[in-house]
């Protein structure tokens, strides 16, 4: 955000696209790909990508990420590490099929 030179008010640039929360229905790989496109379209710097990712997941997914990251605080993990954890946990090969 920048200050408007005439009034001193904060001005925010419009963002391109829509950042949806991950809903467990969409393939996590597609969600991460769309997130990367959002970062590119909006010139989100690498230094802020982890914070945007963590703020764009719902409370259930955030809790899962925190558990997967332990004992390291999730805020100390890199964007790639968190994406890898999410892909590993929610990806198509993470579910075990049993026959009864």
pTM for the model? 0.74
58-95 pLDDT, tens digit each: 899 999 999 999 999 999 999 999 999 999 999 876 55
Whether residue 95 lies inside any domain: the answer is: no
Whether residue 10 lies inside any domain: the answer is: no
Domain range for 35: 25-90
Closest CA to 90 of 15, 21, 28: 28
C-alpha span between 48 and 52 (Å, rounded): 6
Total domains in the fold of the chain: 1
Whether residue 13 lies inside any domain: the answer is: no
Closest CA to 50 of 88, 82, 21: 82
32-65 pLDDT, tens digit each: 999 999 999 999 999 999 999 998 888 999 999 9
Whether residue 57 lies inside any domain: the answer is: yes
Whether residue 1 lies inside any domain: the answer is: no
């Amino acid at each position: 955000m920048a200050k408007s030179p005439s009034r001193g008010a904060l001005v925010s640039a419009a963002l391109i696209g829509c950042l949806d929360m991950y809903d467990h229905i969409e393939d996590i790989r597609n969600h991460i790909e769309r997130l990367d496109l959002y970062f590119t379209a909006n010139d989100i710097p690498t230094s802020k990508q982890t914070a945007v990712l963590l703020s764009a997941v719902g409370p259930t997914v955030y809790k899962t990420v925190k558990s997967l990251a332990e004992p390291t605080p999730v805020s100390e993990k890199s964007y790639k590490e968190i994406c890898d954890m999410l892909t590993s946990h929610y990806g198509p090969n993470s579910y075990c099929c049993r026959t009864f």
